[in-house]
Structure 1
Amino acid sequence: DRAKFEAILQGELQMGIAAHNLGSSEIKLGAAYLQKLQQKIKIPFVSANIRDAEGQLITEPQRTVVVNGKRLLIVGVISSQYAVSGVQVSSPRDAVLSIVDQKAGQYDWLIVLAYLPEIELRHFAAELPEADVILGGGTHQSIAPAYAGPTTVAAAARQGKFLVQLQPPHGSRQGGWEGRVVEMTGEFSDSEQQKQNLQAFYAELEKRDFTAAETGFSPALPVNPPAGYFVAGSESCRKCH
């Protein structure tokens, strides 16, 4: 899982990604690993509401990116339902509002990357009119850009087959962001650089020869399994073992 994740991040860096919000898959890898990885490859992680066991933020809570003269304040949050051992997840809304207070007058647009289930995402958007855009990342289906009060809400499905394209209002903050969901079909040509990154990942897999347990594709066996514990193939394996 870590090798795959690092290959994905290399692809993101090649695309010039501005911010990567931590989601459920990332948080399972642990705070220490994520912090070490960020130092290693300089990936722009953001998360305003994930803390380690000591209560310290594990990455930057926000990033400010200037695009065409406009300052975009990008904040990342995750649902508390994805909390795992060794990390603390606070209220997404409170985390964003705290940054809004800290950065008052220092940005033109507030973009929130919110890894939340769809129902929670919609409630979150309704309660956060301070945001210009809220982009979801934990939904099963893509959500076409739509308004929740003054805020534009959208999401790309987790499978990576879609992306969300957004356009800010022209001239001023009057009006909202608009856009559409774009399906990544064969009409989009493959990037040669990304293909090379993929081949490098395949070569690394072949070189390291992971066991099934290391891949994350199979659940780990319990420690000291109880009597009568069987898995598929137990009868066949017993003939030799």
Structure 2
Amino acid sequence: MELTIYHTNDIHSHLHEYARISAYLAEARPKLDHPSLYLDIGDHVDLSAPVTEATMGIKNVELLNQAQCDLATIGNNEGMTISHDALNTLYDKANFHVTCSNVFDEQGRLPRNMSPSYIKEIEGVRILFIAATAPFTPFYRALDWVVTNPLEAIKDEVQANEGAYDLLIIMSHVGVFFDEKLCQEIPEIDLILGSHTHHYFEQGEMNNGVLMAAAGKYGYFLGEVTLEIENKSVVNKVAKLHPVETLPDFETNFEAEGKALLSDAIINRPVNLPRKTNVISQTAYMLAESVFEFTNADCTIINAGLIVKDVIADEVTEYDIHQMLPHHINVVSIKLNGQELKNVILKSQKQEYINEHAQGLGFRGDIFGGYILYNLGFIESESKYFINGEEIDDETTYILGTIDMYTFGRYFPTLKDQPTDYLMPEFLRDIFKEKLLEY
């Protein structure tokens, strides 16, 4: 028996590219003279797309239905950028199975409509699919989910299904380095479909007898794996990619659809909020103030490039705010002592990234921009630093209100290991929208 498995991952709501993939699948699968499956390996949802924001990912599920998806798992975008309740209802109308082995609520239950693993029997061959997602523990905990060790979760499912399957396929939204470790830890795996780190293999990669396949990001590729199966064992496995440029193309209207769904006016009067990345603008100052107030902090630091687009209009709609702050960035409150806070202030004054093209960590802009300090002051020549006009004490504990992007260690290594509260599920745009009502 031959089995062809098509796979996508990290679409991130690049829905025009996904429409091309869906069209190809509709043409290609009926032409095969053997069984086929289509799997999505997570992060199909990304709220940076207006139509995804407006529907909280329901539109993405509709598109997966239209593509006749057979099985999907969740990535960190499905798990962490929508609310607890939204994840529980995301797949209510899915025509496909959803599986994930390592995300539970506080009562130990999987999100609704999910199973810890899934067995599909095709022509007498039992295939066990096990999925796991990246363990961003603080973010999941802030949304009342518990995320467990993905390696142990996968091993538990393998053991739980011992004797019930013939082939083993892992759907990993944990990243390529994890997948490489998985090949060593569980060499009986037949195939790993990988994602999360946006890697891709043009012809797959063999590792300790395990075939690793991955299709990059943003719908740039459709993955295809063909398994030759004899006596309920894989005797040959081949992977390839279909670049999106080779797939059918046509016009789509996802942007217009999203704009229409987000057309409700927030403010019915003229607003002038320009975008500037290299100076302190009124817009950036208002954003910093909104973070300061929402976190109930002593002070705040953000970067001006978080504002992606200005708002200069006679009225402001939900779409305008979304375009201004399209990130899935949350705010955090961080405890640190006065000396550590001084180090953060000093590093911010170097403005190392003011003209840098930034990406990743939830950022959806282009230029990082300069740092904006709120309720903070300093006299560098005298090495004096102030909060609310009072000099900072080295031993006193302060609360810094800022964005989750700074807790990963790239911009401010000092902040990575400090006690941090992740304030979710509100995004920057939700917080700024409330502030804008005072404008």
Q: Evaluate the alpha carbon distance shift between residue 151 and residue 92 of structure 1 in structure 2; reply closer, same or farther with a 3 A threshold.
A: same
The equivalent position to 1:208 in structure 2, one of 242, 250, 262, is: 262
CA contact (8 A) 1:152 1:176 kept: no
Q: Evaluate the alpha carbon distance shift between residue 88 and residue 108 of structure 1 in structure 2; reply closer, same or farther with a 3 A threshold.
A: same
Equivalence for 2:67: 15
**Distance in 1 (alpha carbons) for counterparts of 2:330 and 2:133:** 26
The equivalent position to 1:177 in structure 2, one of 230, 237, 257, is: 237
User: CA offset at residue 77 of structure 1?
Assistant: 0.3
The equivalent position to 1:62 in structure 2, one of 110, 117, 124, is: 117
The equivalent position to 1:98 in structure 2, one of 156, 166, 178, is: 156
Equivalence for 1:238: none
Q: Unaligned 5+ residue runs, structure 2?
A: 1-46, 48-52, 264-317, 334-372, 378-438
The equivalent position to 2:92 in structure 1, one of 31, 39, 61, is: 39
Give RMSD over aligned pairs: 2.9
User: CA offset at residue 37 of structure 1?
Assistant: 2.0
TM-superposition CA deviations, 1:109-152 (whole Å, max 9, x none): 11110011222221122212232111111122212412222311
Equivalence for 1:232: none
User: CA offset at residue 213 of structure 1?
Assistant: 4.5
User: CA offset at residue 39 of structure 1?
Assistant: 2.1
More strand by share: 2
Q: Unaligned 5+ residue runs, structure 1?
A: 230-240
User: CA offset at residue 179 of structure 1?
Assistant: 1.4
User: CA offset at residue 9 of structure 1?
Assistant: 1.8
- Where 1:175 maps in the other structure, the secondary structure is strand
For residues 70-81 of structure 1, the aligned pairs below 5 Å read 70-81=125-136
**Distance in 1 (alpha carbons) for counterparts of 2:161 and 2:106:** 27
TM-superposition CA deviations, 1:173-228 (whole Å, max 9, x none): 1535221122121x32248xxx7xx54673253133234545661557899x9436
Q: What percentage of aligned pairs have identical amino acids?
A: 17
Q: State the TM-score, normalized to the length of structure 1.
A: 0.78
- Where 1:107 maps in the other structure, the secondary structure is coil
CA contact (8 A) 2:130 2:170 kept: yes
**Distance in 1 (alpha carbons) for counterparts of 2:192 and 2:103:** 18
Q: Output the amino acid matched with 1:72.
A: I
User: CA offset at residue 68 of structure 1?
Assistant: 4.1
- Where 1:113 maps in the other structure, the secondary structure is strand
Equivalence for 2:247: 188
CA contact (8 A) 1:93 1:128 kept: no
**Are residues 1:145 and 2:204 paired?**
yes
The equivalent position to 1:51 in structure 2, one of 69, 92, 104, is: 104
**Distance in 2 (alpha carbons) for counterparts of 1:83 and 1:178:** 38
- Where 1:181 maps in the other structure, the secondary structure is strand
Q: State the TM-score, normalized to the length of structure 2.
A: 0.45
Instruction: Report 1 or 2 for greater relative contact order, CA contacts < 8 Å, sequence distance ≥ 6.
Output: 2
User: CA offset at residue 21 of structure 1?
Assistant: 1.0
Q: Evaluate the alpha carbon distance shift between residue 47 and residue 122 of structure 1 in structure 2; reply closer, same or farther with a 3 A threshold.
A: same
CA contact (8 A) 1:20 1:45 kept: yes
Q: Output the amino acid matched with 2:148.
A: S
